[in-house]
Amino acid sequence: MIIEKNGFIHHVFFWLKNPESKEDLSELIAGLQKLSKAPTIKDFHIGQPANTNRDVIDTTYAASWLLLFENAEDQDVYQTDTVHLKFIEECSHLWSKVVVYDTVGV
């Protein structure tokens, strides 16, 4: 999907407290799948590090969550949506670090 120029991309990277735990990763992914039901999300992608190896690539994270929104206002609504807040409540015990990259079109 091509996002419009006024679109908003929200990309979240998660590092697990127990990086070797397949159960914790599965629980996080299940939580993200529930979170995808938030109504202002235009499209989403749940990912894991690809098997690529170059100096500029960081593969230390466990999962990524890429969201496309129509605009920044929809992303603002998402931040306080009960589905998002419930995800944080239910899954925050799984991660040790979260990094977010938000971008808008140029």
Rounded Cα distance between 8 and 55, Å, is 28
Span 66-81, pLDDT tens digits:
999 999 999 999 999 9
Closest CA to 35 of 81, 68, 70, 76: 81
* pTM of the predicted protein model: 0.92
Domain boundaries, the chain: 8-104
Query: In this predicted structure, what is the pLDDT of residue 106?
Result: 81
- pLDDT, position 1: 54
Name every residue whose Cβ is closer than 8 Å to that of residue 18 and which is 6 or more positions away in sequence.
Answer: 24, 94
Q: What is the identity of the amino acid at 68?
A: L
CATH number listed for the domain at residues 8-104: 3.30.70.100
